[in-house]
Amino acid sequence: MDPESEVTQPNEPMQELELMVFPDELETESVLNSLNLDPDQNYFKRDNWSSDYISTLTLGKKIRDEEFSGKQNFSLLHINCRSVLSKISEIKELAEKLQISILALSETWLDNDSADTVIIPGYNFVGRARVGGRGGGVGFLIKDNFNFQIYNPLKGKSDPKTFESLFIRVKLKKTAPIIGIIYRPPGQGLKDFIDEIEELSSCLKKNSTEIILLGDFNMDLLKVNEHKETNIFYNLLISNQYLPVITKPTRITPNTKTLIDNIFCTAWSKLQYASIIISDLSDHLPIYAQFALEATTKQEFF
């Protein structure tokens, strides 16, 4: 029995709902990098993008085509897996077909004793079980040719009460981005959640200019213009230069379509492609992003 809520398998999603990341008026402003522009407007000047729905087969072909072949690009996938142990074979298949660098997992439903049983050849698993109670849990599957270290941006501070999280720092050729997985369980106070995200953001940006946050935030960004707390959350992230790469619903039920899973990044200028994968792995659709960040060799350490 699901410790959080009843599973409803998604139908194939329609595409009429979409988050517009940049307001239309920005598209009529001056060219990018004009020194006379307001710094904030200049930073965010870019055409809107759309994260389309795509099948695993089509995405696999796209990754292997001429546009991406021969490049050591950095790819990430988030899955709200709703019990990782029951989905090992499906997750392994996705990782292999899509050549994923790092898989971020929410709702792993692991405890400290079962974490060692998550085994996918070619990947290292690190996780954080929910403290007290069933369900929840977050983790990463990291391709074994990547050097990484677990990272605590809130060192010396109290653990957040409104969300579960885990962070790693990954050694790439020219940078060492911080990658975070965040899971906000339903029912947590939105004001307290926003306050804790603000503190997290402040701590993160002291230590890196390239940050990627993946997860299930349980806050529907499609309601950014009609729901006060969602608007505050969205503007908080935008003001700290985190842009959402997913723009369409990620959880589909017979009665609702919500955009609650996302990948927020400060490395948006290196974003090559983002999509939502049509899958019945859980009641949340996996989300994918690929960045022009080159991997290093295993011999180069922190």
Nearest to 164 by CA among 80, 251, 103: 80
Q: What is the reported pLDDT for 66?
A: 54
- Residue range 131-146: mean pLDDT, rounded: 93
- Mean pLDDT value of segment 156-162: 93
How confident is the model over 195-221, as pLDDT tens digits? Answer: 999 999 999 988 888 999 999 999 999
Classified by CATH at the fold level, domain 50-291 comes out as Deoxyribonuclease I; Chain A (3.60.10)
One DSSP character per residue, the chain reads --SSS---PPPPPPS-----SS-GGGGGSPPTT-TTS-HHHHHH-------EEE-HHHHHHHHHSTTTTT---EEEEEEE-S-SGGGHHHHHHHHHHHT-SEEEEE-----TTTGGG---TTEEEEEE--SSSSS--EEEEEETTSEEEEE-TTTTSPPPSS-EEEEEEEEBSS---EEEEEE--TT--HHHHHHHHHHHHHHHTTT-S-EEEEEE----GGGTTT-HHHHHHHHHHHHTT-EE---S-SEE-SS-EE--EEEEES-GGGEEEEEEE---SSSS--EEEEE---B--TT---
CB count, 10 Å around CB of 89?
9
Residues in CB range of 256: below 8 A, 6 or more apart: none
Model confidence at 69, pLDDT cuts 50, 70, 90, reads low
Q: Is residue 92 very low, low, confident or very high in pLDDT (cuts 50, 70, 90)?
A: very high
Residue pLDDT, tens place only, 4-18: 544 444 444 444 689
pLDDT at 65: 78
* Confidence check: pLDDT of 124 > 50: yes
Q: Higher-confidence residue: 38 or 213? A: 213
- The reported pLDDT for the residue numbered 204 is 94
Give the pLDDT of residue 133: 82
Confidence band of 300 (pLDDT split at 50, 70, 90) = low
Is the model's pLDDT at 161 over the cut of 70? Answer: yes
Domain locations along the chain: 50-291
What average pLDDT is seen over the chain?
85
Are the beta carbons of 298 and 178 closer than 8 angstroms?
A: no
Find the mean pLDDT for residues 28-36: 44
Question: Given this model, what pLDDT does residue 173 score?
Answer: 86
pLDDT-derived band at 21, boundaries 50, 70, 90: confident
Give pLDDT, residue 5. 46
**153 confidence band (pLDDT: 50, 70, 90):** very high
Q: In this structure, are residues 99 and 75 in contact, taking their beta carbons and an 8 Å threshold? A: yes
Q: Give me the mean pLDDT over the 241-267 stretch.
A: 95
* pLDDT of amino acid 206: 87
Q: What is the mean pLDDT of residues 298-302?
A: 55
CB neighbour class for 209 (10 Å; exposed up to 12, middle 13-18, buried from 19): exposed
The region that residue 82 occupies, defined by phi over 0 for left and psi between -120 and 50 for alpha, beta otherwise, is left
Say how far apart CA 66 and CA 280 lie, in whole Å: 29
